[in-house]
Structure 1
Amino acid sequence: MAGAGLRVLHLGKFYPPASGGMESHVQTLARAQAALGAQVEVLCANHAVDGQGTSHEFHGRSPTREDWDGLVRVTRLGRLASVARMDVMPDLPRALSRALGRGVDVVHLHTPNPTWVLALDVVRGLPPLFITHHSDVIRQKVAGALFKPFEALLYARARRVLATSEAYVPGSPLLRAFRSKVRALPLGLELAPYLQPSNAAREAEARWRAEGPLWLMVGRLVYYKGLFTALEALTRVPGRLVVVGQGPLEAEARRRARALGVEGRVTWAGYLPPDALVGALRAATALWFCGNARSEAYGLSQVEAMASGKPVLNTAIPHSGVPWVSLHEQTGLTVPVGDAAALAAAARRLLEEPGLAQRLGHAARERAVAEFRHDVMAWRSLSLYAEALGRPAPVAAPTALRLAETA
């Protein structure tokens, strides 16, 4: 097998059922690497106080616990506190020492992640380090500036720094500083639930379809998702906006919807179980991906929509992978950042131009299958490890998938 015998330790912020793109990526990559024969372990913070819920906002002290996600050993470190996005985890030194003591060939860190960066900065004799740079620190300018020397120190020790797309590299001072060791590793997903939906997903789709034109947003309700732009655009198009996610801006967004007069056409769905989300994606006319800052570096929900055969309306965030994931006039339509009128015009095109939504959706599904499958991502990651470590490259590349019918 491609990863036979390789021992990989992933260091993440949190792990599902905690919500979030980085969290789902760590799980997908860890599972897929294990399926290719690697021995995979994950260390992360325990988001849950009582073992329940998906939000990783701090609500009190959580315990340390260890479990298995299939073939992946997962240690969730208890949190004592969370200060300026840094998690205080008293068991971290001991848990890291135990994990390294079991034998590790590759340590794979996912950033931004100040807790782990500071912890690894003081570890000597660290195994070969790989860092997936999910995004720059954009909004927290003061904290980011104070943290930058510690981050640079660790990046200098890394064998490879992995960007989620080549498009993100030119706009990132940190990635540019280490350009010689930067490689691209596009994020991928397990696509089977979208290509071959369950009966429960089809039943959920039927319920959503009764709503008429359906526009979908998926993600945490935070500033860089562009939710207010979407609400303003909704005033100019027919249909219902379904907002899937939770976060600190929900109350303000509800007030904004009320002020704009669209409160009755917005569904605040919160967290949706996987089958219900697949059903909503299949029923939707399009995904609205309205990111407004480079904190939005990629957008895995775009891949979910594309695999479901749906076009994506995304934004031209400079030096972000967002418009690279879904391509303008090929798999969706790209509009300027923060431009509600342009977003509404793109949405109306999907409703008014015969065959446009179907053409874009079909191409979106093809691109998802070719570029964003979990096994393709895992094989690429193992190949990058091998190249940096001077080992033979994995020879068993994933075989092509026949495009599944989703109609």
Structure 2
Amino acid sequence: MTLRICHLGKFYPPARGGIESHVQSLARAQVALGAEVQVVCVNHDMGGIDATWRIVGSTPSVEENDEGVRVVRVGRHASVSRFDVCPSIFSALWRVRREGVDILHLHAPNPTMFTALSLLPSFGTLVVTHHADVVKQRVLRHAYQPVERFVHARAALVLSDSDSYIGGSEPLLRLGSKVKTLPLGIDLAPFLRPSARALAIADELRAKHGAPLWLSVGRVVYYKGLLTAVDALAHVPGKLVIVGRGPMEAEVRAHAARRGVEDRVIWAGNLEDEELVGAYRAARALWFPSNARAEGFGLAQVEAMASGCPVLNTRVPHSGVAWVSLDDVSGITVPIGDPGALAQAARRLLDDEALHQRLARGARARAEGEFDQRIMGERSLSLYREAMGSAEHAHGPRHPGVGVPHSGSGDKSHPLTIEGLSGN
């Protein structure tokens, strides 16, 4: 029988965000490997308006198909301290339980889903990916911890995006050998082999704004370090293109005005896929000066690397940021909150064309070798096999006919059978 997987996400594309993109990439990769996959998440779309950051705003429940992935978007009524109020989430999860699921994969931080699961009886084999600790929201963190511990105790396996993150995470350190690593991956093809339109967009950006162009991609939130980026821009030529939206936009705009660089900061907002590829192609480097462990990985780095765009990142303690793009391999790593060091790194890429080309080649190679979504999908199935095996050991055999292939099978037509579990 086919392996049945249900991902529990916070939101799902076209909602913007690294975790959202990851859930989509992983779900699609697993479908390509022969699994039956669905996603249950909160609906962010309020009649064409993105309700992600809105405290009040109702959205409907809808069901869609995304390249073979069944996507159930649960309607919400409001959001309180990042907790989405979604009464219908219980009926959605009861339906998953009733229809049957082998792997229930929860992506965190996700207070809404954690709370819902804690109030329901166990079903399926639970796997949790702990993408990041709750760091800044102090009230939410204290309210969330007991629920988080309860759900982690139920889980057969808890995953981290990188080994680097585990050592600084109290929730992960508490779980010991239950924690494994699953690096994130994406569909690299649009970035490695851009469309003619994406290349044309890159040419248009260069013609309109000149060179050099520096790029920032992601939600405009505190941990992205955009105030540091603005300070660094005051000491280098060129313009900074900011892709994304978020609650700190007004503060960053005001800071750019104070530093006298507001005319060199280009606010691009949220871009369509080909527009984003074009932006990476036009940029001299991606600026990624994150300043907190809330940035646990940084998928924008992978997109840039696959585009041959070197990354200027920071060494956030116990975060995967500096592991994703390696210093002197795919970019340059600088200290946190140091605009002078960021500006100096940018100038090195301007002044030394050989260095820029070497890092561009290294970036593509690292992206292809480590962060392709098919590699991630195969790794995930191997980890599911481990999780289901530990669940069997703890609770007795599961229903027959359910399993996963060995990691790296790569055969889309090969059924997911119980033989994959036993290793025979």
Give 1:181's aligned residue: 178
Instruction: Tell me the CA shift for residue 88 of structure 1.
Output: 0.9
Contact 1:121 1:150 in 2 (8 A): yes
Partner in structure 2 of residue 329 of structure 1:
328
Q: Please report how far the alpha carbon of residue 13 of structure 1 lies from its aligned counterpart in structure 2 after TM superposition.
A: 0.4
Shift of 1:57: 1.8
Any idea what the Cα deviations from partners look like across 1:197-248, whole Å, max 9, x if unmatched? 0111011010122221010000000000000000000000001100000011
2:41 counterpart residue number: 44
Runs of 4+ aligned residues of structure 1 deviating over 3 Å after TM superposition are 395-399
Please, which of 189, 193, 199 is the counterpart of residue 192 of structure 1?
Answer: 189
SS in 2 for 1:355: helix
Contact 2:4 2:102 in 1 (8 A): yes
Question: 1:91-111 CA distances to partner (integer Å, 9 max, x unpaired)?
Answer: 111111112211100000000
In the alignment, which residue of structure 1 is the partner of 2:63? Answer: 66
Structure-2 change in CA distance of 1:288 and 1:395 (3 Å): closer
Q: Residues 6 and 104 of structure 2 are in contact (CA less than 8 Å); yes or no, is this contact kept in structure 1? A: yes
| Between 142-151 and 68-77, the greater mean CA deviation after superposition | 142-151
Q: What is the letter of the counterpart of residue 263 of structure 1?
A: E
What's the offset of the Cα at 1:142? Answer: 2.8
The answer for the alignment partner of 2:14 in structure 1 is: 17
Candidates 114, 125, 128, aligned match of 1:117: 114
Distance 1:310 1:80 in 2: 41
Are the counterparts in 2 of residues 17 and 53 from structure 1 also a CA contact under 8 Å? Answer: no
CA displacement 1:43-102 (0-9 Å, x = unmatched): 00010111x245612251111111111201111011111111111112111111112211
1:57 equivalent among 53, 74, 90: 53
Ranges in structure 1 where 5+ consecutive residues have no aligned partner: 400-407
Structure 2: distance between partners of 1:367 and 1:76: 34
Contact persistence 1:12–1:113 (CA under 8 A)? yes
Measure the CA separation in 2 of the matches of 1:392 and 1:43: 22
Counterpart of 2:406?
394
- Once the 2 structures are TM-superposed, how far is the Cα of residue 397 of structure 1 from its aligned partner? 3.8
Check if 1:316 corresponds to 2:315. yes
Deviations 1:352-379 (A, max 9, x none): 1230111001011000001000100011
Q: Which moved more, 1:387-396 or 1:38-47?
A: 387-396
1:221 is matched with 220
Give the equivalent residue in structure 2 for 1:96: 93
Residue 237 of structure 1: aligned partner: 236
Q: Percent identity between the aligned chains?
A: 54
Query: What are the Cα deviations for residues 318-358 of structure 1, in whole angstroms up to 9, with x where unaligned?
Result: 00000000001111000000000000000000011230111
Instruction: Name structure 2 gaps, 5 residues minimum.
Output: 390-402, 412-424
1:137 and 2:131 aligned: no
Which AA in structure 2 matches 1:173?
Answer: E
Deviations 1:367-392 (A, max 9, x none): 00010001000110011001221256
Cα distance change of structure 1 residues 54 and 365 upon mapping to structure 2, 3 Å threshold? farther
Contact 2:384/2:404 (CA < 8 Å) preserved in 1?
no
CA distance in 1, matches of 2:61, 2:353: 55
Partner of 1:404: none
Going from structure 1 to structure 2, the CA distance change for 1:94 and 1:55 (only over 3 Å counts) comes to closer
Q: Within 5 A, what are the aligned runs for 1:155-170?
A: 155-170=152-167
RMSD of aligned alpha carbons: 1.3
Whole-angstrom CA distance in 2 between matches of 1:230 and 1:398: 42
Q: Using the alignment, how far apart are the partners of 1:398 and 1:227 within structure 2? A: 41
Aligned mates of 2:10, 2:371 — CA distance in 1: 23
The residue aligned with 2:168 is 171
Q: Is the contact made by 2:379 and 2:408 (CA closer than 8 Å) also made in structure 1? A: no
SS at the partner of 1:288?
strand
Aligned pair count reads 395
Q: Are 1:107 and 1:129, in contact at CA under 8 Å, matched by a contact in 2?
A: yes
Taking structure 1 as the reference length, the TM-score comes to 0.95
For the residues of structure 2 that align with 1:72 and 1:264, how far apart are their CA atoms? Answer: 43
- C-alpha separation in 2, matches of 1:54 and 1:86: 16
SS at match of 2:353: coil
Distance 1:219 1:150 in 2: 29
Per-residue CA deviation, residues 24-50 of structure 1 (Å, 9 max, x unaligned), is: 111111111011110001100010111
Write the distance in 2 (CA, Å) between the matches of 1:349 and 1:10: 43
2:123 to 123, 126, 151: 126
**In the alignment, which residue of structure 1 is the partner of 2:392?**
none
Query: Which secondary structure does the structure 2 equivalent of 1:124 belong to?
Result: coil
The question of whether the paired residues in 2 share the 8 Å contact of 1:225 and 1:291 is answered with yes
Q: Could you state the TM-score of these two structures normalised by the residue count of structure 2?
A: 0.91
Alpha-carbon offset, residue 396 of structure 1:
4.1
Q: 1:110-147 CA distances to partner (integer Å, 9 max, x unpaired)?
A: 00001111111122132110001010011112320222
**Residue 371 (1) aligns with residue 383 (2):** no
Task: Tell me which residue corresponds to 1:402.
Answer: none
CA deviations on 1:283-321 (whole Å, 9 max, x unpaired) are 100000010000000000000000001110000100000
SS of residue matched to 1:297: coil
Matched, 1:152 2:152: no
For residue 201 of structure 2, the aligned residue among 180, 193, 204 is 204
